[in-house]
A and B are shown apart, each in its own frame.
Chain A
Amino acid sequence: MEQANSGQIVVPRAARRRFWTVDRVIAVGMIVPSVIAIAIFVYGFIGWTGYVSLSKWRGINPDFTFVGLDNYNRIFGTARFQTDIRNTIVFTLLFLAGCLGVGLLLAILLDSKIKGEAIFRAIFLFPMALSFIVTGTVWQWLFAPGTAGDPTGLNLLFQNLGLPFFQDWSTTASVLPEWQPDFLRTKLGIPLAMVPVVIAAVWQMSGFTMAMYLAGLRGIGEDIYEAAKVDGANDWQLFLDIKLPLLQPITLSAVIILGHISLKIFDLIITQTGGGPGNATDVPGINMYETTFKSNKYAEGSAIAVVMLLLVAVLIVPYLINNARTEVDR
């Protein structure tokens, strides 16, 4: 809408038609500090990381000898890194699905004029106040499997309910479906051990998703419902044809906010599973941290970081560009 000065709301006075007014210069000036900060802290550091990833730096002292893509070659060849990529994708998809599903369900239920809404809302929202470190510790305990026939934690509860199906999920190395192409050193599919981690993460973030959806539902005017009801729509049609489409922008925002949490997930997994069993819940963040700070392989660690960033970019940049474009067109 506001490309250059076309489409600007017409204001009678001639001076106002000028695009670069003093005020606009001030406006640009006001965001300069943020832009500089982001330029250094985001792009400068990314650039530095990219530079290191092409070097030979190993050990405490920097060594910036250029080695091309050697480090990338090496990390992609390891079973651990291949597993990490699989895990990040699986975790992100399950986490998004879980949060959006649970969040939407709870929002719809809370929106159906029930008693005690405030209490339920507080209960669903509070996990967001906790740190992932606390969440990880507690859920690690809840999913501790115990021995066969003598389960502990949630498994004990499930067994008492006659549902002993969880017990080995947090300790199994199985992957569903177990598909291993010849060129890979890892199995493709959903590692079952990832499910408890996803549950913990959904526990923490679905309340937030609920709040967003609830806000969205409240934002839809009553008149729209009334109109639809007059047209003879039932509850289900009302939901599918009116609510869902109107909630779509909220879903997109939620995907972005949840997506950035999920692609960076680190604290939760470190505390809940430490990446185990084996590497079944390992993610690039943990691998990168260990490679850099434990093994002192700075160049390889940076290469992992760059791949993580590219992964994020692949998922996010199309959205950002699309977002920017629609904003302009609006």
Chain B
Amino acid sequence: MKANPPIKTFTTTKIRPGRILVYVVLVGFSIFFLLPVYLLLITGMKSFSEVSLNRMWNLPVNLSFDSFAEAWKLLQGSFINSLSLVIPATIISSLLGSMNGYVLSKWRFPGSEIIFTAILFGMFIPYQSILVPLVQFLQSVGLYGSITGLILVHVVYGIPITTLIFRNYYAGVPNELLEASKIDGAGFFGIYRHIIFPLSVPGFVVVAIWQVTSIWNEFLFGLIVTNSPEQRPVTVALQNIAGSQYTKWNVQMAGALLVAIPTLLVYIFLGRYFLRGLLAGSVKG
């Protein structure tokens, strides 16, 4: 940071003990947050005979990436499946959320709050509890067992959260802006296209990050809705690395890391925008 020196030294020297404490606490928490990753990494680099709870902190005796290769072999096909699931599902649910948020914040009508509340409640459904009717419904519309069906499921159950985020986000857009545009003759879509959508980019980033991670990491729907091995998403493939009798932890942990890479990249590269998007008002209740 380009700060001007005199003021900076003045403030830092003034509250030094406090500063040190702040860093100590932050570093302490960082260790707490990174510990599991360390464990994932070193276990992934061990051979199966070396894997043991008693020696889990030990560094691997022989560094080997065989576990990663083995895990990748078992996972590669499903990576494509997950990508072809996550991308359309995220795009469609973000667009729907944005449209719903726009309507429910700027085009309210009698009952719109009730509709919003009713939509929001969908967020709280425990998914295990609706598996049976879900499968029967998907079968009746011919979507059971396909990635398209899984996309539909993720889109629908993504509506509540995306609508919530966008509605709150758009609530911060001044109505005067819209009215001015209306006077200029803009209609429903005109306002959306010229005012709302250009302002929405940070909102889309927040929603996209949220949806990408939750859809990528989702397990139960992936398991139940896609029933053939060629269509299963990565989380299901990751579970399948474990045998029914015992688990090769080194391969399991290596696989876990591989599966996490795409979402980690999203966080590393878009994390800043995520914060900025939250800052831009999408979290205000």
Contacts and interface: CB of A to CB of B under 8 A. Distances in A.
Interface of A: 2-4, 9, 11, 13, 16, 19, 22-24, 26-28, 30-31, 33-35, 37-38, 40-46, 48-49, 52, 102, 105-106, 109-110, 112, 114, 118, 120-135, 137-139, 141-142, 144, 146, 150, 152-154, 156-157, 203, 207, 211-212, 214-216, 218-219, 249-250, 252-254, 256-257, 259-260, 263-264, 266-267, 284-285, 288-289, 292-293, 298, 301-302, 304-306, 308-309, 312-313, 316-317, 320-321, 323-324, 327-328
16 contacts: A24-B188, A26-B187, A41-B157, A49-B132, A109-B26, A124-B33, A128-B267, A130-B264, A131-B218, A133-B239, A154-B35, A203-B36, A219-B281, A305-B126, A324-B116, A327-B113
A42 B121 contact: yes
Nearest to B134: A45
Contacts of B61: none
Contacts of A121: 271, 275
Interface string B24-35: 011001101111
A28 B285 contact: no
Given A28-B103, A31-B100, A150 B54 contact: yes
Interface residues of B, number: 99
Nearest to A320: B117
Contacts of A249: 284-285
A98 B38 CA distance: 23
Contacts of B79: none
Interface of B: 19, 22-23, 25-26, 29-30, 32-36, 39-40, 43, 53-54, 56-57, 96, 99-100, 102-104, 107-110, 113-134, 137, 153, 155-157, 159-161, 163, 168, 175-176, 179, 182-183, 187-189, 213, 216-220, 235, 238-239, 249, 252-253, 256, 259-260, 263-264, 266-268, 271-272, 274-275, 278-279, 281, 283-285
Contact of B103 (A30, A212, A257): A30
A215 B175 CA distance: 23
A214 to B, nearest CB: 6
